[in-house]
Amino acid sequence: MCKACFDREYNEFNSYSEFEEFNKEFDSKIVKSVYFVANGKYRSDSHVVYKCSICNQLWWLSEPDNHWRGYFLKEHNAKRYIDNNERKGNAMKYGSLIIAFLVIIGLIKSCN
C-alpha cells in the first residue's frame, strides 16, 4: 500500500472523536500528498473526491452530519458501499409495501 495514502478507511465515523482522529491524519496529508479533485455525485450520494498524488488513488469523503455518519473510502469501496446501502434501502421499501398489501388483504377478508 502507498505510504502517502491514508492508513485506514472508514465505512462510517462511529463517534465525533473518531472523526477528529481522521481529521488530524487528513490535515497532515492534504498538504503533502493528497489534494482536492472535485465535488462528486454517485446515485443519491454526494461526496468530496480527493486524490493521492503519489499513487493516483481516489478517496471519497462524506462528512458526518447529524444522523448521517459519513464515510471515507477508496473510490471502488465507496461505490460498493453506496450500492449496498441503496439495495438495502430498496429492499426495505418493497418489504414494507408487501406488508401493507398483506394487511389490506387481511382487512378485506375479515370484513367478509
CB of 54 to Zn ion, least distance (A): 4
Q: Binding to Zn ion by residue 58, rule CB under 5 A?
A: no
Beta carbon of residue 36, minimum distance to Zn ion (angstroms, whole number): 15
Q: Do the beta carbons of residue 66 and residue 19 sit within 8 Å?
A: no
CA distance 27 to 79: 24
Sign of CA dihedral 9, 15, 20, 21: negative
Q: Smallest distance from the beta carbon of 17 to Zn ion, in angstroms?
A: 26
Residues numbered 28 to 57 that lie near Zn ion (CB under 5 A) are: 52, 54-55, 57
